[in-house]
Chains A and B, each alone.
Chain A
Amino acid sequence: MVTYDDRPAQLFIYPSIFFLIIGMTFGVFIAFNGFVFPDYFSGEYVHFGRLRPVHVGSVTLLWLLSVDIGLMLYFIPRLCGTSLWNPKLALWSGVFWWLTLGLGVNSYPWGTNFGWEYAELPTWISWLPIKFFFAVAWILIVINLFMTIANRRFEKLYVSLWYSMGTLIWTTFTLLVGSFAINWLPEGISRVNASWFYIHNLVGLIYTPMGLAIAYYFLPKLANTPIYSHRLSMIGFWSVAFIYAWVGTHHMIHGPISQWLQTTSIVFSMWLFIPVWTVVYNLFATVRKDWAKYLQSAPIRFIMMGNIFYLLTCIQGPIQSLRNVNEITSKTDWIIGHSHISLYGTFTFFAIAGIYQAIPVMAKKPLWSTRLADWHFAFNLWGSILFLLSLWIGGFLQGLMWANWADGSSYAEFHNNLTRLPFLQTVADTRNWWILRGIGGLIILFGNILFVVNMFNTIVLKQVAQLSTPRELRAAT
């Protein structure tokens, strides 16, 4: 029996849970201070433009990417039947990772924003090459994980390993394009194009494969049943590998970018129905054998709800890219809702489920409270639904109001429409939806604070003697 050194995984997972709360607190703050009580706390370092990247950076990099890496460090050795290639190296890359990312993301209010979306990390902070250190930390992790896979005891590669290997390659090149190569391209639309390529791949080729690897590993573990179809998961993997890198331009539909490129991205976006269908069906069919487990286990509920959100996000994605739908939804809150359903509703739910399974195993103690986990799920689900629906409806209505300017047949009429319904009126009309969004965010934040308490107690408190071994632990061993 191999013993697994879980310290690197812990080094990534534990702080990331903390940053989940921090990042979401920033999110709730800007939801209220930016929209409900606009600019109530005002000034150079707290206004919306300076804090939004801290929220986004915290939840994407400090939480989701870090926890995904932590979970990969957890399950890749277990799927390979061998210990991590070099745990010491992994610890060092963890130290590098937290130092540079923690510094980088929290420096935005002081004016270090790089200026490209999702790539806001500064090249330098004083004499510290933040972006370079970040890349180094990542590459050390890639080497470590690839060497672990090369040394594996089980010849057959389980689908989670496929997705992990894919993401190790994709992330490396995507980060290279978005953070460095963008400065070598000709100025203007070439850089914009590279930026959208980066942004979309960050979601499609980093968070998607990482999230799916996590779901494919932890769902069978939690439900204690094999995955429904390995073949289906491979169709999903190769279609992700084929399709995702082509669709970045669909963020620029109707924009100043070549029409043929827009059309290409729309065609490939439509094909995204293939991978999502394979994943959604596969995960459902796995649980279908015994639905009682869904009721018994909060983490399974997280994965299955994440799965439903994944279906929704991947129905939205291709449809939003259609030119006539895009005309209404693009540049509105609908898009914000869409980015939250994928990164929060889907991949954060997957990661949370992974944590619920991994932490009791790593701490060698059962979960402190399954009731709290149930509440955590309930708050997350209902908070998310309120949050997402208000963004979608509010955004869609605002998009319709803008489209109202195009009613008529002469410029005089168009302009008259704009005079009757000025831009600022459409902002005012969206306020109620923003209030609901803020409340939804508060509910989610509260739920996640319960989660942190639960995890903290699981790790820190002594095991209560009379507790029977919980289901999660049984499934894991």
Chain B
Amino acid sequence: MTSPQTPTPEDKHSPPHSRFVYKLDRSAIMMIVGVILLFSTSIIVTLVAPRFVDSTWTSPSSPYQVQMYEIQDPNVYLSSVATGGNELQYVHHLKQDFTLLSFKESENLRFVSPSELESFITRFEEKTLKLTSRLLMLREPEGDMVAEADKLRQTLQKKRPLEQGKIPQMGLDKVNYQILELYDPQVTEAFSLEQMGGILQNWVDENYVVLDESSKHPYHQDYGVVYVKNPREFRISPLRFGAEQRWHYDPAGRPVKNIEELKSPALGFFSRRELIYLGEHIYAIEGCWYCHTDQTRTLIQDTVLNGSDSYPAPPSSANEYIYQKITFPGTRRIGPDLSRTGVKRPSRDWHKAHFWSPKTASVGSIMPAFQHFFDDDPRGTGRSAIGIPNHRFEAMYQYLMTKGTRITPPTQAWWLGKDPIKTKEIIEGQRTLQ
């Protein structure tokens, strides 16, 4: 057995052992050193250096993004225990000196309070939103406050009489006001019922004031903050359902003791952060990312594909992804791009129908059906062990709703035409990139 070799013509002219190439030919060590040297240079420049050179690789896109992922998601809990059915209950974990609360009156919702809490209420038609990190909550008036509430109601009703002749026939002769009492529950943490558990959170970045004497948490000093509006305690009472012991939401019930009880199997709450990461995991194992890209590229067609009727979607930036354990930029766009799904398709019902049967929900689609996301049937009436029916669907939905919704605060969002990088001007050729 011989190895194939070629005698090179130069061999005849100079002593072969002195030439560099000859030595290289024979030295495995030199070869290994050379390979490692070249390889490590490229690793340093292309893998290690960029994140120190480009701050966008690690720094967040906006305080809203940070507050959504770090302040809100871990403290918003979801479960269907309160309704027992398909509808989810959103509960906010309030913490003294951490969660910012606002008590804002509206036309028909007014508050009464002991005099020392008066200053926390943002009165109707008051311009500046008052926020506090003191843990206060609202409830139906109790004790002394009942009389006070009645007084307030009568004053208001006198001030604004009903138009004559319309409603009195229906047995109503006065404007109905809901009067709640602001009280101090004397606890450091509590759970409030989130009336509108949505994709976007309450956010304020102008005309607001934090009433704390000193700043209690670094995020309170950002140029805008997420806050919880008009919290009312999440109270539960037992409910017998055949032989089964269940719990349901009951304003007259008892408060949830602590976070352990909230997360216990009986109540079955999961935080939105847990659901988002579960969604990311499902996205990975189902292989969604083989057919869907997750990047709006700096191409007109991408900004148009992901845009709304009036505004193009801004291209993805590196810092959109910093809260993902796995990021799925994708190689192939068999289905449409998902990086702006939270804006393009916010409807939970649409996603539910689509995952159940993509071919009927969007005609011409070749996407497989994901009926295994649902416990029993598409209406989702079945109960799963973890307290959230169709928890795989819910996790996936929560994950998808983070896409494109958290780049900028909702007050400066691109879908309102306030795109900070002016995508529209760029693609229409009115503005050139620097």
Which A residues form the contact surface with B (CB < 8 A)?
1-2, 34-35, 38-39, 42-44, 47-50, 52-53, 78-79, 81, 108, 111-117, 149-150, 154-158, 162, 165-166, 169-170, 173, 177, 186-194, 197, 217, 220-221, 226-231, 234, 238, 241-242, 245-246, 248-249, 251-252, 254-258, 260-261, 264-265, 327, 330-333, 335-336, 402-406, 409-411, 414-415, 417-418, 423-425, 427-428
In the complex, A186 Cα to B320 Cα: how many Å?
A: 13
Q: Which residues of chain A are within 8 angstroms of B288 by Cβ–Cβ distance? A: 49
B332 touching A335 by the CB < 8 A rule?
Answer: yes
Given contacts A39-B367, A332-B333, contact A411 B307 (CB under 8 A): yes
State the total of A-B contacts with C-beta under 8 angstroms: 265
In the complex, A52 Cα to B287 Cα: how many Å?
A: 8
B51 touching A256 by the CB < 8 A rule?
Answer: no
Q: Mask for B386-405, Cβ within 8 A of A = 1, else 0?
A: 00000000000000000000
A254 touching B428 by the CB < 8 A rule?
Answer: no
Q: Which residues of chain A are within 8 angstroms of B326 by Cβ–Cβ distance? A: 115-116, 191
In the complex, A270 Cα to B335 Cα: how many Å?
A: 31
B428 touching A187 by the CB < 8 A rule?
Answer: no
A255 touching B286 by the CB < 8 A rule?
Answer: no
List, sorted by A's number, 26 A–B pairs whose CB atoms are closer than 8 Å.
A38-B368, A115-B283, A155-B26, A156-B26, A157-B26, A158-B5, A162-B31, A166-B35, A187-B325, A188-B327, A191-B327, A193-B46, A197-B46, A197-B47, A234-B21, A254-B298, A256-B316, A258-B50, A261-B50, A264-B45, A330-B297, A331-B293, A333-B332, A404-B301, A405-B301, A411-B304
B42 touching A245 by the CB < 8 A rule?
Answer: yes
B301 touching A402 by the CB < 8 A rule?
Answer: yes
A81 touching B1 by the CB < 8 A rule?
Answer: yes
**Out of A156, A258, A265, which one reaches B54, CB within 8 Å?**
A258
With CB as the reference atom, state the residue of chain A lying closest to B363.
A424
Q: Which residues of chain A are within 8 angstroms of B46 by Cβ–Cβ distance? A: 193, 197, 245-246, 248-249, 261, 264-265
B331 touching A335 by the CB < 8 A rule?
Answer: yes
Q: 10 tightest A-B contacts by CB?
A: A49-B287, A115-B284, A47-B368, A406-B300, A38-B366, A245-B42, A254-B297, A188-B321, A44-B372, A188-B322
Q: Mask for B79-120, Cβ within 8 A of A = 1, else 0?
A: 000000000000000000000000000000000000000000
**Out of B36, B325, B335, which one reaches A169, CB within 8 Å?**
B36
Given contacts A48-B291, A149-B28, A414-B427, contact A42 B284 (CB under 8 A): no
Q: Which residues of chain A are within 8 angstroms of B5 by Cβ–Cβ distance? A: 156, 158, 226, 230
**Out of A177, A241, A251, A264, which one reaches B47, CB within 8 Å?**
A177
In the complex, A187 Cα to B304 Cα: how many Å?
A: 28
Q: Which residues of chain B are within 8 angstroms of A186 by Cβ–Cβ distance? A: 51, 57-58, 322
A113 touching B28 by the CB < 8 A rule?
Answer: no
Name the distance in Å between B47's Cβ and chain A's nearest Cβ: 6
Q: Which residues of chain A are within 8 angstroms of B28 by Cβ–Cβ distance? A: 149-150, 157, 165
Name the distance in Å between B40's Cβ and chain A's nearest Cβ: 9
Q: Which residues of chain B are within 8 angstroms of A402 by Cβ–Cβ distance? A: 301, 305
In the complex, A402 Cα to B427 Cα: how many Å?
A: 15
Name the distance in Å between B131's Cβ and chain A's nearest Cβ: 30
Tell me what chain A mostly uses at the interface: helix, strand, loop, or mixed. helix
With CB as the reference atom, state the residue of chain A lying closest to B358.
A39
Q: Which residues of chain B are within 8 angstroms of A256 by Cβ–Cβ distance? A: 295, 315-318, 320-321, 329
With CB as the reference atom, state the residue of chain A lying closest to B296.
A256
Q: Mask for B30-69, Cβ within 8 A of A = 1, else 0?
A: 0110111011001101110011011001100000000000
Q: Which residues of chain B are within 8 angstroms of A111 by Cβ–Cβ distance? A: 285-286
Q: Is B253 an interface residue (CB 8 A)?
A: no
In the complex, A221 Cα to B372 Cα: how many Å?
A: 54
In the complex, A1 Cα to B1 Cα: how many Å?
A: 8
In the complex, A72 Cα to B387 Cα: how many Å?
A: 55
Q: Chain B interface residue count: which class? A: 35 or more
In the complex, A265 Cα to B286 Cα: how many Å?
A: 31
A409 touching B38 by the CB < 8 A rule?
Answer: no
Given contacts A115-B285, A150-B28, A191-B327, contact A49 B291 (CB under 8 A): yes
With CB as the reference atom, state the residue of chain B lying closest to A242.
B38
Q: Which residues of chain B are within 8 angstroms of A165 by Cβ–Cβ distance? A: 28, 31-32, 35
In the complex, A81 Cα to B4 Cα: how many Å?
A: 12
In the complex, A278 Cα to B312 Cα: how many Å?
A: 47
Name the distance in Å between B7's Cβ and chain A's nearest Cβ: 9
Given contacts A331-B333, A335-B331, contact A193 B304 (CB under 8 A): no
Name the distance in Å between A78's Cβ and chain B's nearest Cβ: 5
Beyond known contacts A47-B369, A415-B304: 8 more, CB 8 A cutoff: A34-B368, A47-B368, A53-B287, A115-B281, A157-B28, A169-B39, A238-B34, A411-B304
B305 touching A423 by the CB < 8 A rule?
Answer: yes
Q: Which residues of chain A are within 8 angstroms of B334 by Cβ–Cβ distance? A: 427
Given contacts A256-B317, A410-B428, contact A157 B368 (CB under 8 A): no
Q: Which residues of chain B are within 8 angstroms of A173 by Cβ–Cβ distance? A: 39, 43
In the complex, A163 Cα to B92 Cα: how many Å?
A: 60
Determine which residue in A48, A116, A173 has the highest number of CB atoms from chain B within 10 A of its CB, and name it. A48
Q: Is B214 an interface residue (CB 8 A)?
A: no
**Out of A194, A229, A414, which one reaches B300, CB within 8 Å?**
A414
